[in-house]
Amino acid sequence: MLNYIIIATLKSLIVIHILLGAVAYTVWLERKLVGRIQNRWGPTRVGWFGLLQPIADGVKFILKEDLTPPYVHKGLFVLAPLLAVVMALTSIAVIPFGDLIHIGSLSTGLQITSGPVADGRVGDINIGVLLLLGITSLAVYGIALAGWSSNSKYSLLGSLRASAQMVSYELSLGLSLVGVLMLSGSLSLREIVERQQQHGWNIANGGWQILGFFVYLIAAYAETNRIPFDLPEAETELVAGYHTEYSAMKFAMFFMAEYANMVTVASVATLLFFGGWDGPLFGPPIVQALLPIFWFVLKVFGFIFIYIWVRGTLPRFRYDQLMAFGWKVLLPLAIANILITGLVLSLRSS
Amino acid sequence: MLHLVLFFIFAAVCVAGAINLLAQRHPISSALSLIVVMGSLAVLYLLLGAEFVAAVQIIIYAGAIMVLFVFVIMLLNAGEEEHGIASRVATFGGLPAVGVLVALVIYSLTHQSGSGAAATLAIGGSGGSTRDIATLLFSKFLLPFEVTSVLILIAIMGAVVLARRGDR
């Protein structure tokens, strides 16, 4: 048992540090790419290609004055950014990055919550997908409480928008995954990937979940409050939305939460639709051991690139358009996807 | 061993959250305590091996229903509750009632009828996995399951009708 606790702790430490590094450099990538899209250079001064910019930003956030405005609800004002960042970091726990890793005589799954290894197969909790959806639904509280406890009308409007938007799009998000779950007959992310390794990726010949994927992608943009669905922080109308009153490290926490959520959402899209760590393997054993992780990271990077691309090119929705789109277009599409997938599956089995 | 430690931690958190829910005077604080109670209950379900129930507890109760609670409290901007006569009656009547209830539970647990072996069950031995629940729902309990979904549909339609009344 002690062995298990030590391994789990080590894994959590490593994964969370890699995730935070990824978050910092996603911010850098976004500034660089959006800069190029808008015909500017983005950060260039700190380090080669501005590569040290995230570190400079981190130092800046720590050194800035941490303001707590009067008349805020003190406890919740501090709790809200913590909740946002904790929920965002927790969801990475169930995500598998690869199959197995052998260090000496020890072999363990590349996943924080992986179970014991038996016969070369890694055990996995059988509610991975549900746990992810649950944590996503809890992530609303960080934003909702931030806006309410700030005691400012811009913040409150931002957080009301955020709650309504996230609750509405969560439905489509959850339902868009049902097609994949029906195909694989499992809620374990590991088993879903293993099925795709045998039968092909779910987006292509593994099940043609193209409709489900697009519903998931759009709903995921809304869940992470990114353009074109960033109404909770629409700066032209709400100053900065739910984090108007936040400064220094507390503001940085919301920022970190947003980008960590982007990474998680991209990982889930990779695992459920694009075969996870599946990809061609070649070369000497050490390269073969590292290639699955490389494929996984490459696919996640692709999704983050699309995220930033969309941010650089699309305008923001109007609020009523956002709600109508979520309920009248995405939700029926997600349900249609379930019906079609179910129909095809039952026809094929009979 | 680890199960036992985790059980006592989360049982304590659960009870503390429930007491805090009653003690707090601000609706938001009470709602947040209720979320803590729901969350720790989910962990207790997980410890029992009921994975699906634990996940659904988080998604539906802590996620969906409590978000609506918090949303409504924020929208109405509800202030602190004041102590009235009713709350004093609740204090004087409620505390003895809690004592009686706890005594009853302890009595029924310690003086259980039947053999001791029947009362203990291996963790996860009761079949709480998603597959078990799905098999039961779509075979043995198909009719109650479908009737419940029709009931929920009626409730949704009722909500739509009530919300649209202002249009005419």
Q: B51 and chain A: CB distance < 8 Å anywhere?
A: yes
Amino acid identity at A93: A
| Average pLDDT over every residue of A262-282 | 86
- CA A240/CA B71 separation, integer angstroms: 20
Is residue B119 scored above 60 in pLDDT?
A: no
Tell me which chain B residues have a C-beta less than 8 angstroms from the C-beta of A164. 71
- CA A264/CA B105 separation, integer angstroms: 44
Indicate the angle between helix axes A331-349 and A153-184, nearest 10 degrees. 10
Q: What is the pLDDT of residues A194-211, one digit of tens each?
A: 888 888 887 777 778 888
pLDDT value at residue B16: 92
| Facing A131 at nearest CB: one of B28, B55, B74 | B55
Tell me which chain A residues have a C-beta less than 8 angstroms from the C-beta of B48. none
Q: What's the pTM?
A: 0.84
Cα torsion A332, A334, A339, A341: sign: positive
Give the best residue of B40, B66, B130, B153 to mutate against chain A (max A CB count within 10 A): B130
Q: What is the pLDDT of residues B57-70, one digit of tens each?
A: 888 888 888 888 88
Closest Cα partner for A91 from A75, A119, A111? A111
| Facing B59 at nearest CB: one of A73, A130, A140 | A130
Residue pairs spanning A and B at CB distance below 8 A:
73
Task: Report chain A's mean pLDDT, rounded to a whole number.
Answer: 84
| Facing B75 at nearest CB: one of A76, A133, A160 | A160
Q: What number of other Cβ atoms are within 10 A of residue B167's Cβ?
A: 5
ipTM over cut 0.85: no
| Facing A133 at nearest CB: one of B35, B59, B67 | B59
Please give, rounded to a whole number of angstroms, the shortest distance from the CA of B51 to a CA of chain A.
7
**What letter would DSSP give residue A293?**
H
b/e burial code for range A148-168 (CB count within 10 A of at least 16 → b): bbbebebbbbbbbbbbbbbbb
| Average pLDDT over every residue of A220-225 | 85
Say yes or no for a CB contact (<8 Å) between B71 and A160: yes
Q: B16 and chain A: CB distance < 8 Å anywhere?
A: no
Q: Range of A68's domain?
A: 2-349
Give the best residue of B3, B5, B32 to mutate against chain A (max A CB count within 10 A): B32
Among A51-60, A238-247, A286-295, whose mean pLDDT is lowest? Answer: A238-247
Q: B59 and chain A: CB distance < 8 Å anywhere?
A: yes
Residues of A with CB under 8 A from a CB of B: 1, 73, 76, 125-127, 130-131, 133-138, 140-141, 144-145, 147-148, 156, 159-160, 163-164, 167, 170, 187
| Facing B55 at nearest CB: one of A127, A159, A163 | A127
Is residue B150 scored above 90 in pLDDT?
A: yes
Tell me which chain A residues have a C-beta less than 8 angstroms from the C-beta of B2. 1
Tell me which chain B residues have a C-beta less than 8 angstroms from the C-beta of A147. 74
Report phi then psi at A100, rounded to 5.
-140, 155
pLDDT value at residue A97: 83
Closest Cα partner for A55 from A240, A230, A252, A198? A252
| Average pLDDT over every residue of B159-167 | 80
pLDDT value at residue B117: 47
Q: What is the pLDDT of residues A234-244, one digit of tens each?
A: 667 777 777 78
Is residue B127 scored above 70 in pLDDT?
A: no
Count of structural domains within chain A: 1
Task: Report chain B's mean pLDDT, rounded to a whole number.
Answer: 82
C-alpha B52 chain-centroid distance: 15
Strand ranges inside chain A, DSSP E: 100-103, 106-109, 117-118, 121-122
Say yes or no for a CB contact (<8 Å) between B130 and A133: no
Please give, rounded to a whole number of angstroms, the shortest distance from the CA of B151 to a CA of chain A.
20
pLDDT value at residue A120: 66
Say yes or no for a CB contact (<8 Å) between B59 and A187: no
Say yes or no for a CB contact (<8 Å) between B58 and A140: no
Closest Cα partner for A240 from A254, A228, A257, A224? A254
Residue A103 β-bridge partners: A106
pLDDT value at residue B120: 60
Contacts of A285 (CB under 8 A, 6+ apart): none
